[in-house]
Amino acid sequence: GAVVSQHPSWVICKSGTSVKIECRSLDFQATTMFWYRQFPKQSLMLMATSNEGSKATYEQGVEKDKFLINHASLTLSTLTVTSAHPEDSSFYICSADPGAYGYTFGSGTRLTVV
Amino acid sequence: LAKTTQPISMDSYEGQEVNITCSHNNIATNDYITWYQQFPSQGPRFIIQGYKTKVTNEVASLFIPADRKSSTLSLPRVSLSDTAVYYCLVVRGGNTGFQKLVFGTGTRLLVSP
């Protein structure tokens, strides 16, 4: 089946540094990908829609200068958390639609900012 | 898209059938009902999707009444490995590749021995 690969699966970084998370569609092309954030015991919250070759669309309340999204090819979208702070610690998940039933989600990235 | 409401949590025992109901009163004519499963520290996984009546696959069944204002996900003979959060979503039919999925609270299912 369709696979979305997300890397890294976990990362620990120091406060003030930047972290890049990659999301790849392995066997299909994705013009659009989505980025979510999930805090413990909570539901997924949509952060932004990543569009290949154009600017991402951010949900209300999400700082676009802090969460930089690049979708340079039909199989790769990246999310960069800039100047990370402890409150950015969360579980980040990407997804895309392979064209069959249901969206496919990445395995997620656990970000811990210390 | 229609907002969904589901129970926050449910408890069951191994071997039992579990039915999780979701209400979506404002569902539109061209909307579908989709269910996802999420294990801790993993991304959600598509389970089943339906429009009306009954849909069954190797994992679950989905029952949708004629008015489509609710749906029920049925998991036959659950095992401990079915402990997860189950999300009910309403998605618009057609070209869904550009459609945002909005997750509600989900139902946290705990299966005990």
pLDDT in tens, B65-75: 999 999 999 99
pLDDT in tens, B54-109: 999 999 999 999 999 999 999 999 999 999 999 999 988 766 566 788 899 999 99
Q: How far apart are CA A108 and CA B43, in angstroms?
A: 6
Q: Which of residues 1-20 of B touch A (CB under 8 A)?
A: none
Residue B103 contacts A where some CB pair is shorter than 8 Å: yes
Mutate to test the interface with A, among B3, B5, B34, B101 (most CBs of A within 10 A): B101
CA B44 to chain centre: 11
What pLDDT score was predicted for residue B2?
79
Decide: A24 and A80 in contact? Cβ < 8 Å: no
Q: Within 13 Å and on the Cβ side, how many CA atoms surround B32?
A: 19
In angstroms, the Cα distances linking A83 to A15, B8, B108 are 7, 35, 34
Confidence of residue A12 (pLDDT cuts 50, 70, 90): very high
CB contact under 8 A, A103 and B104: no
CA B48 to chain centre: 7
Residue A79 contacts B where some CB pair is shorter than 8 Å: no
Residue of chain A whose Cα is closest to the Cα of B94: A99
What pLDDT score was predicted for residue A2?
86
Q: How far apart are CA A33 and CA B11, in angstroms?
A: 34
Q: Please, what is the average pLDDT of chain B?
A: 93
Which chain A positions have a beta carbon within 8 Å of B105's beta carbon?
A: 43
Q: How far apart are CA A31 and CA A22, in angstroms?
A: 15
A24: β partners: A5, A76
The number of helix segments (H) and strand segments (E) in chain B equals: 0, 9
Backbone angles phi, psi at A64, to 5 degrees: -70, -25
